[in-house]
């Protein structure tokens, strides 16, 4: 059984309410931080913990915090990114819905460390009902003296608000999120300046994912070193994984980083194996933006080592034979799924979600979707495959924000590992006209023959 | 973003008749208080949600103009935001907008069958509204419910692990209750 830090009390009936949460040790990190620690000491513990941003980028949180500019007389802000929209990711919703006070507690402790007196939780609009749960928790926190003026007699003041979005994947990008919070279109800003210098209302701002902020609670309670003792190398602590697709037990699991992928995928404690006794075909381990892995690269790396659930092991082999941990959106495909059709599905998503600011992304996502659609419907030709690779290359690295990369990588990776399936869509056009052709005649990945020196 | 519906023509006469309910105006004032002085534009997204709930589920140019007046902004500042985000409807919709997620995990687990089933049952295609104005069928991108796929959203409500039977029951219940579902509704508790 894996140690659980965030979901340890998930099974406790009524943990959503303040009284039960408090009776189970809730708000201890706020007491400890405000009564016995300086803001710098809290930041120091977060640095020691090795915690990395849980939204997808994996940037060290303590370092991000230490970049925050602190000019005299200028307010600083902490904004929680609860705009969870990466396809395959639903861990933050789970956490906020079930243990909302954990996020509220993390926001108070983190805001104290950063010297923020006003903080926001920006939650995607579709999670409106979750925003109500958070607002209820915040009201309870105010009523019990954890928010407002002079918290615990420490002289520290904090107001915390929930802001709802209105349906835009791009607002999960931190500068687009800040634009949206300012009441504008979610167009990402050019960096620098980074939000740590000019963020919300052009004031120094830290933007952190829900899970990152929640992890600050056990880090402050038990110390950064205890947190860093869990995991392997630079992948410390626990991570929430959203498991979905063709598996027996979809859901949110808290794992210790370093768990073998094979155990996660096949053991009954987690995904419970592929549903309906089918074969594994492919897996997207970190949300829609990361490269897809064919069956033979899911549990083992290209060099034959066990693939582990860590930032490093999942990206072992670079994009040639690896992927990324990303947001922990673990999507599994069985033998009946069509990679071309799935890639088209992702491309349609990115076309829909491109903000339209940068030409390579606005035009490129449209073209990739158009070309993939015709290939998927058996109306493409062999040149289309290289055309897609070319378009993906022209988007990657040429846009203000990473949405362009996120749209390009899945396409490039699908063709890298499943070129024969794209070719099949041209050579057997009649067969693929049936959208469920994969159910009749599964197309499995083909492991390339080893190169003999 | 592809909220490609376009803004309808402005009618100055209609504009004069629009006023939100007192509770709505009160909550708008409360929201504005959250932000520093002069930053009331930050209230835009939450206020547009309230506006939509106050206006039969869609934002006409006249309503957008009224929101601009409340927030002390130029109308164009409101138009450009309303047309960016996919949750704002810029044309009339049914009382219950059935938003079926169609992205990867949902799609892998039968989202297309859900759209087809609802479409046949209500005799509409995605993007259309039933002639009695009760239902609009819409396909949307990932709603963060991949572990309970396939799913649909209607107002604040998430309906997960959909089966034909669940869809039948849902539609029957909505018909019987015969009221508009808004994102801002307070009464939904997820049973999952």
Same domain, B128 and B156: yes
Q: Tens place of pLDDT for every residue, chain A, 453 residues?
A: 678 999 999 999 999 999 999 999 999 999 999 999 999 999 999 999 999 999 999 999 999 999 999 999 999 999 999 999 999 999 999 999 999 999 999 999 999 999 999 999 999 999 999 999 999 999 999 999 999 999 999 999 999 999 999 999 999 999 999 999 999 999 999 999 999 999 999 999 999 999 999 999 999 999 999 999 999 999 999 999 999 999 999 999 999 999 999 999 999 999 999 999 999 999 999 999 999 999 999 999 999 999 999 999 999 999 999 999 999 999 999 999 999 999 999 999 999 999 999 999 999 999 999 999 999 999 999 999 999 999 999 999 999 999 999 999 999 999 999 999 999 999 999 999 888 899 999 999 988 887 776
Q: Which residues of A touch B107 (CB under 8 A)?
A: 342, 345
Please tell me whether residues B76 and B26 are part of one structural domain: yes
- Residue to mutate among B45, B162, B181, with most A CBs inside 10 A, is B45
| Percentage helix, strand, coil for chain A under 3-state DSSP, each rounded to 5 | 45, 15, 40
What is the predicted pLDDT for the residue at B10?
82
Residue B59 maps to which CATH number? 1.10.10
Same-domain check for residues B157 and B118: yes
Q: Please tell me the distance from the alpha carbon of residue A364 to that of residue A164, in angstroms, as a whole number.
A: 30
Per-position DSSP letters for A69-96, written without gaps between them: ---TT---EEEEEE---STT--HHHHHH
- Nearest-Cα distance to chain A for B94, in Å, is 18
pLDDT value, residue A453: 63
User: Can you read off the two tokens belonging to residue B76?
Assistant: 């164009």
Chain A residues 72-91 within an 8 A CB cutoff of chain B? 75, 84-90
Provide DSSP, A30-53. HHHHHHH--HHHHHHHHHHHT-B-
- For B55-89, the pLDDT digits (tens) are 999 999 999 999 999 999 999 999 999 999 999 99
Q: Do B115 and B165 lie in a common domain?
A: yes
- Residue A13 counted as domain residue: no
A61 and A208 inside one domain: yes
Q: How many domains does one find in chain B? A: 2
pLDDT average, residue stretch B145-166: 96
User: What are the chain B neighbours of A170 within 8 Å (beta carbons)?
Assistant: 1
- pLDDT for res B1: 43
Is residue A208 helix, strand or coil? strand
Residues B101 and B171 in one domain: yes
- B172 and B100 in one domain? yes
Residue A193 lies in a domain: yes
Judged by CB atoms closer than 8 Å, whether chains meet at B43 and A183 is answered as yes
Facing residue for B2 by CB, picked from A97, A166, A352: A352
SS (H, E, C) A236-264: ECEEEEEEEECECCCEEEEEECCCEHHHH
B186 Cα to chain A: minimum distance (Å): 7
Interface test with B, best of A126, A332, A354 (most B CBs within 10 A): A126
Residues B26 and A431: their CA atoms lie apart, in Å, by 60
Predicted complex: ipTM over 0.85: yes
**Residue-level pLDDT at A379:** 96
* Residue contact B104–A84, C-beta within 8 A: no
Q: Kindly report the nearest CA distance between residue B35 and chain A, in angstroms.
A: 9
Interface residue A294 vs chain B (CB under 8 A): no
Predicted pLDDT of residue B3? 47
| Element spanning A143, H or E | helix A128-143
- Concatenated DSSP letters for A376-399? HTT---HHHHHHHHHHHHHHTT-S
Q: How many domains does chain A have?
A: 3
Q: Angle B75-82/B61-71 helices, nearest 10 degrees?
A: 120
Single residue among A171, A206, A229 that ends a domain in this structure: A229
Residue A448 domain-assigned (yes or no): no
- Do residue B169 and residue B100 come from a single domain? yes
Q: What is the pLDDT of residue B191?
A: 59
pLDDT of residue A436: 87
Select from B33, B56, B82 the last residue of a domain.
B82
State which residues form the domain around B48.
12-82
How confident is the model over A150-177, as pLDDT tens digits?
Answer: 999 999 999 999 999 999 999 999 999 9
Q: How far apart are CA A53 and CA B167, in angstroms?
A: 38
Q: Residue A289: helix, strand or coil by DSSP?
A: coil
Residues B111 and B41 in one domain: no
Residues A223 and A116 placed together within one structural domain of the fold: yes
What is each CA distance from A50 to A47, A234, B74, in whole angstroms?
A: 6, 7, 46
Strand order in the sheet with A293-294: A251-256, A238-245, A329-334, A280-284, A293-294
Tally C-beta pairs within 8 A across A and B.
164
Contacts of residue B70 in chain A, CB cutoff 8 Å? none
Q: What average pLDDT does chain B have?
A: 93
> b/e string for B92-124 if b means 16 or more Cβ within 10 A?
ebbbbbbbbbbbbbbbbbebeebbebbeeebeb
A 142-161 residues inside an 8 A Cβ radius of B: 159, 161
Q: Which residue of B has its CA nearest to A365?
A: B1
Q: pLDDT grade, residue B11 (50/70/90)?
A: confident
CATH code for the domain of B153: 3.40.30.10
Instruction: Encode pLDDT of B115-140 as tens digits.
Output: 999 999 999 999 999 999 999 999 99
Give residue A105's domain range.
18-229
Q: Cis (ω within 30 of 0) for the bond into B150?
A: yes
Do residues A123 and A225 both lie within one domain? yes
The residue out of B59, B82, B105 marking a domain boundary is: B82
Contact A201 B143 (CB under 8 A): no
H or E segment and range at residue A118: strand A118-123
Alpha carbon B14 to chain centroid, angstroms: 22
Write the CATH number for A147. 3.40.50.11540
Query: Residue B2's pLDDT is what?
Result: 43
- Whether B144 sits inside 8 A of A346 (CB atoms) is no
Cβ distance of A183 and B45 shorter than 8 Å = yes
**Shortest CA gap A87–chain B (Å):** 5
């Amino acid at each position: 059984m894996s140690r659980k830090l965030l979901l340890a009390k998930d099974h406790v009936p009524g943990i959503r309410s303040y009284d039960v949460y408090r009776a189970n040790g809730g708000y201890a990190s706020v007491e400890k931080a405000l009564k016995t620690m300086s803001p710098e000491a809290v930041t120091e513990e977060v640095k020691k913990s090795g915690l990395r941003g849980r939204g997808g980028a994996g940037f060290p949180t303590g370092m991000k915090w230490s970049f925050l500019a602190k000019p005299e007389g200028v307010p600083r802000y902490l904004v929680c990114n609860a705009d969870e929209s990466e396809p395959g990711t639903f861990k933050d919703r789970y956490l906020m819905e079930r243990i909302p006070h954990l996020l509220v507690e993390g926001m108070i402790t983190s805001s104290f460390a950063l010297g923020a007196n006003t903080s926001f939780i920006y939650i995607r609009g579709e999670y409106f009902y979750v925003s109500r749960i958070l607002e209820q928790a915040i009201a309870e926190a105010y009523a019990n003296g954890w928010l407002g003026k002079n918290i615990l007699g420490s002289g520290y003041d904090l107001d915390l608000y929930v802001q709802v979005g209105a349906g835009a994947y791009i607002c999960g990008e931190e500068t687009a999120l800040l634009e949206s919070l300012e009441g504008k279109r979610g167009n990402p800003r050019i960096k620098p300046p980074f939000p740590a210098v000019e963020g919300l209302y052009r004031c120094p701002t830290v933007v952190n994912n829900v899970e990152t902020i929640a992890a600050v609670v056990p880090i402050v309670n038990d110390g950064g070193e205890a947190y860093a003792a869990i995991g392997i190398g630079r992948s410390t602590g626990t991570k929430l994984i959203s498991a979905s697709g063709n598996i027996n037990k979809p859901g949110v699991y808290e794992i210790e980083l370093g768990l073998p992928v094979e155990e996660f995928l096949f053991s009954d404690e987690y995904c419970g194996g592929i549903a309906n006794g089918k074969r594994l075909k492919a897996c997207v381990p970190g949300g829609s933006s990361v490269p897809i892995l064919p069956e033979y690269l899911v549990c083992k790396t290209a060099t034959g080592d066990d693939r582990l659930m860590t930032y490093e092991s999942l990206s072992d082999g670079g994009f040639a034979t690896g992927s990324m941990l990303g947001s922990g959106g673990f999507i599994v495909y069985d033998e009946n799924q069509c990679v071309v059709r799935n890639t088209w599905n992702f491309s349609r998503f990115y076309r829909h979600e491109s903000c339209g600011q940068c030409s390579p992304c606005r035009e490129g996502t449209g073209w990739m979707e158009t070309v993939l659609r015709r290939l998927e419907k058996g109306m493409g030709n062999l040149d289309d495959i290289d055309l897609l690779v070319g378009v993906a290359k022209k988007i990657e690295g040429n846009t203000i924000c990473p949405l362009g990369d996120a749209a390009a990588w899945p396409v490039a990776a699908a063709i890298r590992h499943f070129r024969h399936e794209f070719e099949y869509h041209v050579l057997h056009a009649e067969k693929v006209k049936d959208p469920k052709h994969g159910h009749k005649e599964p197309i499995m990945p083909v492991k390339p023959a080893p190169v003999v020196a | 973003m592809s909220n490609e519906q376009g803004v309808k023509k402005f009618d100055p006469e209609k504009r004069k008749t629009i006023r939100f309910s007192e509770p709505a105006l009160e909550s708008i004032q409360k929201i504005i208080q959250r932000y520093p002085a002069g930053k009331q534009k930050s209230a835009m997204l939450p206020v547009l949600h309230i506006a939509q709930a106050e206006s039969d589920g869609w934002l006409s140019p006249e309503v957008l103009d009224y929101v601009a007046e409340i927030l002390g902004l130029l109308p164009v500042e409101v138009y450009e935001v309303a047309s960016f985000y996919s949750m704002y409807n810029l044309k009339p919709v049914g009382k219950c907008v059935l938003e079926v997620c169609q992205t990867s995990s949902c799609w892998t687990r039968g989202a297309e069958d859900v759209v087809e089933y609802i479409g046949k049952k209500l005799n509409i295609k995605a993007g259309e509204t039933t002639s009695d104005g009760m239902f609009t069928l819409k396909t949307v991108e990932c709603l963060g419910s991949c572990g309970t796929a396939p799913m649909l959203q209607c107002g604040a409500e998430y309906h997960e692990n959909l089966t034909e039977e669940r869809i039948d029951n849902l539609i029957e219940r909505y018909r019987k209750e015969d009221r508009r579902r808004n994102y801002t509704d307070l009464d939904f508790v997820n049973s999952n």
